[in-house]
Amino acid sequence: MLSRGRRLRHNQLIRDLNRETRISAKSLIFPLFVEHGTGMSNPLETMPGQSRYTVDKLGPVVNSLLEAGVNKFILFGVPEHKDLEGSDAWSDQGIIQQAMRRIRQEFGHEVYLIGDVCMCEYTSHGHCGILDGEYIDNDKTLEYLGRIAVAQAEAGADMVGPSGMMDGQVAAIRRALDERDFLEVGIMSYAVKYASGFYGPFREAVDSAPSFGDRRSYQMDMHNKREALREAKQDEAEGADILIVKPALSYLDIISAVKANTLLPVCAYNVSGEYSMIEAAAAKGYIEKERVIDEVAVSCFRAGAQMLISYHAAEIATAIRAGRIG
Ligand code: PBG
C-alpha cells in the first residue's frame, strides 16, 4: 500500500498540522437584540440562551463576548412602536441608533459594529419594505433603506447590513452614505438570502413575522443556485464590501459557489433556527452540544466562508481557545 491516509491522522500533532481549515475568533460576529426601556434582559423563548437587552444592559453582554474573544457585533432592534414607514429604524432616537451610541461610548473602537438594515422589525405589517397594496414597493423602499443606513452611520456604525432583498439596495445605500460623506462605512450585503423556515425563532424573538403573506416575493427560492450567483454579482457591482449567504447549513453548496464566483469576502449567517435546533436537541440529551457547535462552525468555513455570524460565537471562540477546532 503506497498511500495510507491514516498517517496524517496518527496523533493530534499531525492532525493539527494537516488541518485545511483554520478558524479564528477574529472571524466571528455575534448578533445582539436590543429593545427600548431600561433594566431588562428578556430571555428569548424560541432561542434558549439568547436574550433581548435594553440599552443600559448591553455593557455586560458585550464584555462577556469580549472576554470570550469576540469583538464584532451585528445589531437587531425591537421598536416600541411599529408603523407603516418603520420610523424607529431611521429615527435619531431609534433603538439601534441608541444602542450604537451607547456601545461606542463605553467600548470605543475596541468593538466593530454592524447595523442590520431592514424594515420588517419596524413596520406594522412586518414586511421588509413600504407597501403598495399587498406588494412591497421596491423603489420606494430604497429611499428608506438609505435613510436607515445614514441614521446608523451617524450613530457610529462601522458597517451596515442590508437584509431586505430589495433590488438595488446596495447602490441606494452606498449613494446615501457617500452623499453624507460616510465614505468609510462599509456595506455587508445579505446578497443571497433565501426564503427560509430557519428564520422562525428570530421572527418570534423580534416579533417580525409578516402579518399577511410571506417573503417569497423578495427572498430567494431554495431551489435556485444560479440565481444566487446573479444576486452576488449584482451586489458586487453595486459596491458591496462583503457578501452574506443565509441561512448557512442547508446552503453550504451556495456558500461554495458564491465563493468560487466572487473576489469579495464571503460571510455565512448561521441563523436562528439552526441555533435553536442544536439547543433543543442538546436539552433533550440527543446530541453533544459542544461537538455539534464545533462541527457546524467548521463546516461553514470549510465551505468557503471567510467569516461567520453566529449566536454560538462565544462557544465557538471558546472551542478555538481550548484547541478543539481552529
Ligand atoms: C431581517 C432579518 C431576518 C434575519 C436577519 N435579518 C429575518 C427575516 O428575514 O425574516 C434572520 C436571522 C435569523 O433567523 O437568525 N430581515
Q: Which of 119, 120, 127, 199 to mutate to test the pocket of ligand 1 (most atoms within 8 A of CB)?
A: 199
Q: Which three cell numbers stand for residue 233?
A: 454579482
The reported pLDDT for the residue numbered 233 is: 98
- In the block, cell 438594515 appears at 117
pLDDT in tens, 150-207: 999 999 999 999 999 999 999 999 999 999 999 999 999 999 999 999 999 999 888 8
| Atom in ligand 1 nearest the alpha carbon of residue 311 | 15
Please give the average per-residue pLDDT across 94-112, as a whole number.
98
The reported pLDDT for the residue numbered 106 is: 98
Let me know: does 245 contact 191? Beta carbons within 8 Å. Answer: yes
| Helix or strand holding residue 129 (H, E) | none
Distance 202 CA to ligand 1 centre (A): 6
Extract the runs of DSSP E, i.e. beta strands, from 141-272.
159-162, 186-193, 242-246, 266-270
Fold of 21-322: TIM Barrel (3.20.20)
The reported pLDDT for the residue numbered 42 is: 96
pLDDT in tens, 200-256: 999 988 889 999 999 999 999 999 999 999 999 999 999 999 999 999 999 999 999
Q: At what angle do helices 313-321 and 58-68 cross, to 10 degrees?
A: 30
Distance 199 CA to ligand 1 centre (A): 6
The reported pLDDT for the residue numbered 25 is: 98
| Residue nearest (by alpha carbon) to ligand 1 atom 8 | 199
Mean pLDDT, the chain, rounded, equals 97
Active site residue 246: yes
| Residue nearest (by alpha carbon) to ligand 1 atom 6 | 163
| Residue nearest (by alpha carbon) to ligand 1 atom 5 | 163
Among 225, 246, 284, 289, which one carries the catalytic annotation? 246
Distance 121 CA to ligand 1 centre (A): 9
Distance 161 CA to ligand 1 centre (A): 11
- Which residues have C-beta atoms less than 6 Å from ligand 1? 116, 118, 120, 128, 163-164, 199, 202-203, 271-272
Let me know: does 25 contact 42? Beta carbons within 8 Å. Answer: no
Among 57, 72, 82, 193, which one carries the catalytic annotation? 193
Distance 78 CA to ligand 1 centre (A): 12
The reported pLDDT for the residue numbered 48 is: 98
Q: Which of 29, 144, 163 to mutate to test the pocket of ligand 1 (most atoms within 8 A of CB)?
A: 163
Q: Quick one: the chain helix, strand, coil %, rounded to 5?
A: 45, 20, 35
Q: For the chain, what's the residue count?
A: 326
| Residue nearest (by alpha carbon) to ligand 1 atom 2 | 163
pTM of the model: 0.97
| Nearest-5° Cα angle at 202, 234 to 308 | 55
The reported pLDDT for the residue numbered 57 is: 98
